[in-house]
Amino acid sequence: MNVVLASSPAIEDRHGIRCMPPLGLGYLAASVRGLRDLTVHVVDAYGEALDVKQATGRVLDLAPDVLGVSSTSFCFRDGLQLINAVKAARPSTVTLMGGYHPTMFDELLLKSSPGLDLILRGEADESLPELCGRLCRGEPLHDSPGLSYRSNGGIVRGIPQQIEDLDALPFPDRAAMNYDGYFYQFGGFYLPDLPPVANVVSSRSCPYHCTFCPKMFPEWRYRTRSAESVFQEVLELTSRGYEIVFFQDENFSHNAKRLEEFCRMVLDHNLDTRFAFQGTIHHLPDHLLQLMHQAGFDCLFVGVESGSDAQLRRFRKPSTGKTLAEGIQRAKRAHMAVIGFFIHGGPGETLEDSKDTQAFLREVRPHVAGASELSVQPGTVLWQELVGDAAPDRLDDTYPRKISTFPGQQSSDEISARRRGFQLALAKSWRHWTRAKDVLDLLLYNRSLHKVIKRLSRDLKSAVQLLKGGPVERNDPRIKRM
């Protein structure tokens, strides 16, 4: 049996194009790899910027008996087009969807999409191999865990699955994700010519409940892998030639005790691997950030969202402007490059809140900062407040919406004005004399930056392209696919 796992193409959402390998599909590929009489392939239509026609051709070339498409709220419509196109060309293919949006709106998707056969709700690391095993053996599917399907004119809805023991999962099947164009950009920022980079997920979900962040179900818990499990994956990646590991968890740094254990393992084994992460930092003390620096942590991506305490409270963020500022300063003292992300707009946000954010930029001075208009997604507190909690009647009513499209919220013109104010404040922050000190500190002590500069110095063309603000191509033959 041929199983093809694919991400949805994305005509409108370009945020993650050429960003990083889809580890969710890598985990699923690993989960079914050992099943008898089964082969598995991954087509990352989203990450490779394939349109529906291109993705359909790639999938059909693999002659799928089963096609599983993972979809977010931003690109589920393109995922359905892919499924319908494959089903039309190869009617015998069993089609299924998984991911956040199909889990939330399984009933509506199955009612509206005749080409879609099945939906696996929640985390499918255990339910997908169970389903594939039954398909291989010709067994009934009706009680397969997490499965939603049509029956007698209605929809049987599976119970969303949640993995309790993350350490028990196999490492992602990186050999199945063999596209060479990843780490071209991140969060809208073009990346320089990096040494070989691997992304790792060490936890699932998030301990906090910010109003703009989607949660499938309130009872879903934040779960972490052990420090030992994470360290073993890093060891394996290092042995295959990767020099930088990016922890893409929603909140890698929440568990300070686990973080310290991991750092000490790295130091005890004298690894030369460099690390980047995204997560909260307001709770991390100086001594732990210094330990992280010693262990190789060079880069931090932090969701600041706003410099206004009032707006942070509205977002239900766990920090204040002061604790965020102090955390960023501690990270800078630990020689980390700090990339901050901010949000334009939000219910209740005032012009004064926007000015507080501008003051934050000028005074705290993260090395890099970016901002985007607030997107209101289904499954969030904001969605319930602005759209309501009634079940939608149409698939189009489940699509995320920009805050400026809601009556009574900031208009697109107001968002544009705040964006201009943000950019001006960021530019002014670079006129402060301490910026020279910040840059010198990174040049002296940030070894990831040393690696980038070394690679750029070997390729003058790439260096010039980066200075012009454009991305550069990367293809490192030293990587041994896992």
Q: What is the pLDDT of residues 312-363, one digit of tens each?
A: 999 999 999 999 999 999 999 999 999 999 999 999 999 999 999 999 999 9
Are 109 and 150 part of one and the same domain? Answer: yes
- Please answer whether residues 442 and 337 qualify as being in contact, where contact means their C-beta atoms are separated by less than 8 angstroms: yes
Name the burial class of residue 376, with classes exposed (0-12), middle (13-18) and buried (19+) by CB atoms within 10 angstroms of its CB: buried
Among 107, 140, 156, the domain boundary falls at: 156
Q: What is the span of the domain harbouring residue 99?
A: 2-156
Q: CA nearest 242: which of 474, 7, 420?
A: 474
Are 261 and 304 part of one and the same domain? Answer: yes
Residue 214 has pLDDT above 90, yes or no: no
Q: Is residue 189 part of a domain?
A: yes
Are 144 and 191 part of one and the same domain? Answer: no
Angle at 393 between CA 391 and CA 396, to 5 degrees: 105
Q: What is the pLDDT of residues 118-176, one digit of tens each?
A: 999 999 999 999 999 999 999 999 999 999 999 999 999 999 999 999 999 999 999 99
Please state the length of the chain.
482
Number of structural domains found in the chain? 2
pLDDT of residue 482: 35
Element (H, E) at 223: strand 223-224
Position 462 confidence tier, pLDDT thresholds 50, 70, 90? low
Burial track 133-157 (b if 16+ CB lie within 10 A, e otherwise): bbbbeeeeeeebbbbbbeeeeebee
Q: What is the pLDDT of residues 362-377, one digit of tens each?
A: 999 999 999 999 999 9
Phi, psi of 299 (to 5 degrees): -145, 135
pLDDT of residue 218: 61
Region 432-459 average pLDDT: 90
Are 133 and 236 part of one and the same domain? Answer: no
Q: Is residue 86 part of a domain?
A: yes
Are 215 and 82 part of one and the same domain? Answer: no
CB atoms within 10 A of CB 51: 14
Are 225 and 149 part of one and the same domain? Answer: no
* Average pLDDT score, the chain: 92
CA distances from 30 to 5, 26, 221, 350, 482 (A): 11, 6, 23, 48, 11
Are 190 and 147 part of one and the same domain? Answer: no
Q: Is residue 473 part of a domain?
A: no
Q: Is residue 169 part of a domain?
A: no
CATH code at position 111: 3.40.50.2300
Position 480 confidence tier, pLDDT thresholds 50, 70, 90? very low
Q: Which amino acid is at 398?
A: T
Kindly give the residue spans of alpha helices, DSSP state H, lying in 283-406.
286-295, 309-314, 321-333, 351-364, 381-386
Are 191 and 64 part of one and the same domain? Answer: no
Q: Is residue 178 part of a domain?
A: no
Name the burial class of residue 168, with classes exposed (0-12), middle (13-18) and buried (19+) by CB atoms within 10 angstroms of its CB: exposed
Rounded CA separation 409/15 (Å): 24
CATH code at position 316: 3.80.30.20
pTM: 0.92
Position 468 confidence tier, pLDDT thresholds 50, 70, 90? low
Are 344 and 416 part of one and the same domain? Answer: yes
Q: Which residues contact 264 (CB under 8 A, 6 or more apart)?
A: 291, 295
Name which of 285-289, 400-404, 466-470 the model is least confident about: 466-470
Are 111 and 187 part of one and the same domain? Answer: no
Q: Is residue 437 part of a domain?
A: yes
Q: Which long-range contacts (CB under 8 A, 24 or more apart) does 434-442 make?
A: 434/365, 435/365, 438/332, 438/365, 438/367, 441/332, 441/335, 442/335, 442/337, 442/367
Rounded CA separation 196/183 (Å): 9
Angle at 7 between CA 45 and CA 79, to 5 degrees: 90
